[in-house]
Structure 1
Amino acid sequence: MVARGRFLASLEAACGGNCSLAADTAALVVRLAVDSPSLALDWATDESYSLQVAARGSQVTAQVRAATGFGARHGLETLAQLVAATGRPARLLMAGEARVADRPAFPHRGLLLDTARNFLPLADLRRTVGAMAACKLNVLHWHATDSQSFPLESEHVPQLARHGAYSARETYSARDQAELVRYARARGVRVLLEVDAPSHAGNGWQWGPAEGLGALAVCVNRQPWRSFCIQPPCGQLNPANPRLYGVLGELYRDLLGRWPAGEVFHMGGDEVFFACWNKSAEVVGWMESRGLGRSQADFLQVWGEFQERALQEFDKAAGHLNNSIVMWSSQLTQPGVIQNYLSKERYVIETWVEADDPLPRALMALGYRLILAVKDAWYLDHGFWGRTRYHDWRAVYDTRLPGDRAVLGGEAAMWSELVDGAALDARVWPRAAALAERLWSDPAEPSARAEPRLHAQRERLVRRGVRADALAPAWCVHNEGECR
């Protein structure tokens, strides 16, 4: 029903909501056939579809057949792309004959949104999900928490949002979280929730001493920040405090109740700053009591033990051991280290290295499944702060992933240091649409061949209320190929 409504809305948007009826108007009949009633949406979901369009007299018939409802939804999106508006008042034109057999090259086609650096209202998340669905992206990676803020409300641990949110209005209630998951799934998009740990955990975790639980985190908001973390404000969970794990377990129990059973969960795990733990008398004293020193190997052991205990709490909250866990690449995932701490059967590694970095292939050789967030092409925040280079849509499109079954897919990342709801759309779109085509069909052709399609898709997004950035002067759009 949602897919049908979106299809009709896209037709209405194509003619500005005012399509004329002419004497020679043809009827459009759309028939959907879905082989399986399953609503499971995961890396194994069959998203393939076929589409046949045929004109006979005054009727155009479009037949969409798919293995699942999610594939049928993609078929309707493709059908909508075969429609164009012309004239004033507008009339809709569409292809009279078409045959399409389509399936994604990668099962994981994602976009990361960061709601911790700057809060994004639920309406912005919903609008982004709608744009993702229009482009056949299927995973919203929700980087919900960080050391700056903790906006997720938890019934069993309300202190996290109470002490960690920017304000009482800048939170996501339990209802908000569950509603976003439902809204996204109805559009063929999974929500991959990330609660970063043990690093990137400061504000929201500082209430432990006042409630008799001791320090749940150390280095919180410490200055000078360069001595305690990668980016201000600082904060890192305290592995020396055994009460920490009970708090994590209660948090996981709340969150898991709002997501489908067995859904993948992202535990973060990047940029652990050993100097933070090394400057904590409690952590160092605890390590010494266990015969550990202060070497990198010792801190890796502490980190690995933290991850093991956090996973135990997660599994206890889930009631089973089946959820795949995603973690960022880090010191803990280096080829000579990872097998000591992270099982390849349980963990998926999201690498955030540059395209020519050998790490992904080294991890594949060890048998790990991967998601690639190619740092020098798919980090959409680059070019707006620091000494980073802006990655335009061509860089996004021309970056290809290894053709290996271990590679589940990839993600564009919209970190929000300099992004809020007012700037979100133009920073993400249409570059994320270029990523969507790369991950869906993985074409061999260069970006120059894709440019007309991206112009058209950008216009569709704008008609759907997404304030996507312009790609070129209008003259270049109207004179295809003349501006290359």
Structure 2
Amino acid sequence: MAMAGCALLFLIIWVHLMRSLDNAAASFSANKPYIGKFYDCVNNTCILSKFPVSEMYNNQASGSIDVCRLTCGLYGALWPRPTIKTEIKQSIIQFGYENIKLNLSSVEDELGKQYINEAYQVFLDSLGNLCKPRCNPYANSVTIFVSNTSSFEYLKWTTNEKYDLSIVTEGDQINVKITAQTVYGVRHGMETLRQLITSYGSKELGYNLVIATEVNISDRPVYSHRGFMLDTSRHFFSMSKIKKTIDAMGHSKLNVFHWHVTDSHSFPLDLPSVPLMFKYGSYSPEQKYSYDEIKDLMRYALVRGVRIIIEIDSPAHAGNGWQWGKSEGFGDLAVCVDKNPWRKYCVQPPCGQLNPINNNTYFWLGNLYKDIISLLPQGEAFHMGGDEVAINCWNTTDQIVNWMKSKNKDLSENSFYELWSDFHIQALKAFDKKAGDSNSNIIVWSSGLTEPSIIQKHLDNNRFIIEEWESSTAAAQLTELGYKVIVATKEFYYLDHGFWPPTNYHSWKLIYETKLPIVNNTHLILGAETCMWSEYVDENSVDFKIWPRTAALAERLWSNPKTRAQTAEYRLLQHNERLLKLGIKPDAIMPEWCYDREGECKLET
């Protein structure tokens, strides 16, 4: 009985204790001193605060960190930051997605109107991503007045991409004015406008759109070539993944998609004049890029401010896709295809190198060029590859060795360099014959042939642009010789590095802070690009390797900032959030705890 009495007493005490805790919790819940989070812009930093209920602002937008960052700091949440003038005051207003209008009354060129309307639809789709599944209606309206002064032309290195943007409010009417010489300047202005808009709310209650209301921006890029290269030979990438990547490029104001579409591993191009190349070179009948798909991609990219430069690597990095020559009566178009041991004949398996002494090689190259050129704007640049020729492939191929001897040439390295140089001359003739245009720029990778001490013997600086991947010093030296240069040095811009030994990972901060070579003839450094070689990446894992590191290069090339990466960290964080809304999955750049505690995590600069 004594034990039963103790147990009963313990039960009574426990019940009273639980009731007391419940009452305390209910009391705390009913009278809690803080609700949610509130962010205030203090000294250009969004500071997290907690306010008593009695002091909480009526405008719930004030509690959003995205809204705070929209106007906080000199550049708000813009990426890349503008270069000429930036005025963003801490003033926002809500508006309705259904009340956005485009006014093209000042645009006379019909092709220009068509382009701007397509770019405007991209802008609207991007805004719609801010408030999925539902944008809440609101009476305030936005009208975008566009003015541009030149007729439509295709994007080039000489294109004027400058724009001016202003936002003013008159009652419930928000007027946006975008002025530019070209449609690409207009497109950039729309992208900046997109970044001056954000949302707050919830999936249950819907999202509300807000826009910065007192804005004046004048902006233009520092470098004309702001690029990204994707290798789709070592792994095949679907067209939808390529388009997603181009979406992200457009939102970052990158303007060149360098498409390394073929290599010794595969030939995924299904083109009408060279059908056997795809038949012999594709991974499967489904893994292909058809003529119509490429044509569609060209327009898709252009509307997002991106031109596409296609690369057909040669004479090295050419194997699968070229095996059919002998069986079809054209002789060996390529040699050393799949030859082993591969380390003796190429830099990585599978080996393959075009046959420079077979005239049929240039005939079929010409047909290949013809199909690709027909997809490109008149005069568009073309990338012929040109790197990593393995002399030991050619000088162990009997037909080439015998040909060299018949021409009274020795088998020295210099003689094979002459053969390599002659290949480029013959390939260029085939290109010009099929293109009907001898003014197009031809890009080649840096190589033994482009060494500053010998390049002038082999490559004409009026036709050839050098993409320098080995040395920034060599890039500067080449400009002194009059060559235009695209910088893609592996120590900074190879995105595959760090994922295989003995390479090192290049962080977004390193890419951001790496300045392009300083040269006397500044116009000869066209710009730079990051390179995503695909030995160790496919479309399921590519996003976090590209982004946000390529976005870091975007600001370097657009703005050429003098400040350190730390000052850009939270703007890049907001850009990451925009990429997420696009369906891109960028890499994380800081702990989640720091996302809404900028004042506590922001490093001294």
* Higher mean C-alpha deviation, range 159-168 or range 425-434: 425-434
What's the counterpart of residue 8 of structure 1?
Answer: 124
Which residue of structure 1 aligns with residue 169 of structure 2? Answer: 55
Residue 436 of structure 1 is aligned with which of 551, 554, 575?
A: 554
Question: Structure 1 CA distance, aligned partners of 2:364 and 2:425?
Answer: 15
Contact 1:271 1:330 in 2 (8 A): yes
Matched, 1:65 2:179: yes
The answer to whether the 8 Å contact 2:475/2:517 transfers is: no
Counterpart in 1 of 2:526? Answer: 408
Cα distance, 1:154 vs structure 2: 2.2
Counterpart among 422, 437, 446 of residue 329 in structure 1: 446
C-alpha separation between the residues in 2 aligned to 1:383 and 1:298?
37
**Is 1:36 the counterpart of 2:165 in the alignment?**
no
RMSD: 1.2
Question: Residue 291 in 1 paired to residue 405 in 2?
Answer: no
Higher Rg: 2
Residue identity opposite 1:476 in structure 2:
C
**Kept in 2: contact 1:2–1:187 (CA 8 A):** no
Deviation at 1:266, TM superposition (A): 0.1
Alignment of 1:226-375 (within 5 A): 226-354=343-471, 357-375=472-490
CA distance in structure 1 between the aligned counterparts of 2:224 and 2:434, rounded to whole angstroms: 27
Counterpart amino acid of 1:441?
Answer: S
Deviation at 1:180, TM superposition (A): 1.1
The offset of 1:121, in angstroms, is 0.8
SS across alignment from 2:438? coil
Q: Which whole-Å CA distance do the structure 1 matches of 2:495 and 2:300 have between them?
A: 24
Checking the alignment, whether the CA contact within 8 Å between 2:515 and 2:556 is kept in structure 1 is: yes
The answer (yes or no) to whether the contact 2:466–2:483 under 8 Å persists in 1 is: yes
- Whole-angstrom CA distance in 1 between matches of 2:320 and 2:265: 6
CA distance in 1, matches of 2:547, 2:577: 11
User: Shift of the alpha carbon at 1:374?
Assistant: 2.3
Instruction: State the Cα distance separating 1:60 from its structure 2 match.
Output: 1.6
Deviation at 1:19, TM superposition (A): 2.3
User: What one-letter code is carried by the residue in structure 1 that aligns with 2:144?
Assistant: V
Aligned to 2:301: 184
Q: Deviation at 1:481?
A: 5.4
Is residue 2:581 matched to residue 1:466?
no
Q: Where does structure 1 differ by over 6 angstroms across 4 or more consecutive aligned residues?
A: none
What's the % identity of the aligned pairs? 46
CA distance in 1, matches of 2:331, 2:303: 43
Alpha-carbon deviations, 1:173-208, whole Å to 9, x = none? 111111111211122111100000000001111111
CA distance in 1, matches of 2:271, 2:400: 27
Give, as a single letter, the amino acid of the residue that structure 2 aligns with 1:464. Answer: L
Cα deviation digits, residues 89-125 of structure 1 (max 9, x gap): 3222221101100001111111000010000011111
Matched position secondary structure for 2:311: strand
Please say if residues 48 and 102 of structure 1, whose CA atoms lie closer than 8 Å, have aligned partners that are also in contact. Answer: yes
Q: Which residue, 225, 249, 254 being the options, matches 1:137?
A: 254
Q: How does 1:439-458 map to 2 (within 5 A)?
A: 439-458=557-576
Distance 1:18 1:43 in 2: 40
The 2-side partners of 1:287 and 1:62 are apart by 68
SS of corresponding position for 1:413 = strand
Q: Is the 8 A contact 1:326 1:350 kept in 2?
A: yes
| Equivalent of residue 169 in structure 1, options 283, 286, 301 | 286
Q: How does 1:53-132 map to 2 (within 5 A)?
A: 53-88=167-202, 89-132=206-249
- Opposite residue 554 of structure 2, the aligned amino acid is A
Report the CA distance between 1:342 and its aligned residue: 0.7
Shift of 1:294: 1.8
Q: Find out whether 1:391 has 2:509 as its counterpart.
A: no
Distance in 1 of aligned mates of 2:207 and 2:325: 62
- Deviations along 1:220-254, one digit per CA (max 9) or x if unpaired, are 00111001001111000111212211111111111
Q: 1:85 Cα shift?
A: 1.4
The Cα offsets for residues 32-55 of structure 1, whole Å up to 9 and x where unpaired, read as 111112222111111110000112
Question: TM-score, length-normalised on structure 2?
Answer: 0.78
Letter in 2 for 1:3: A
Deviation at 1:321, TM superposition (A): 0.4
Contact 1:377/1:391, CA 8 A, preserved across alignment: yes
Q: Which structure 2 residue ranges, 5 or more long, are not aligned?
A: 1-116
In structure 2, what is the Cα distance between the partners aligned to 1:475 and 1:467?
19
| Matched position secondary structure for 1:229 | coil
TM-score scaled to structure 1, two decimals?
0.97
Question: How many residues were matched structurally?
Answer: 480
Quote how far apart the aligned CAs of 1:161 are.
Answer: 0.8
Give the distance between the partners of 1:364 and 1:186, measured in 2 at CA: 32
Which of 286, 301, 310 is equivalent to 1:193? 310
Q: 1:365 to 1:173 in 2, by over 3 A?
A: same
Deviations 1:406-434 (A, max 9, x none): 10011000110111111121211111111
Say which of 134, 137, 144 aligns to 1:21.
137
Q: Does structure 2 retain, via aligned residues, the 8 Å contact 1:51–1:101?
A: yes
SS in 2 for 1:90: strand
Unaligned runs of 5+ in 1: none
**Is 1:45 the counterpart of 2:159 in the alignment?**
yes
Output one character per residue of 1:291-342: Cα deviation in whole Å (capped at 9) or x when no partner: 1112111111000001100000000000120110000000110011110111
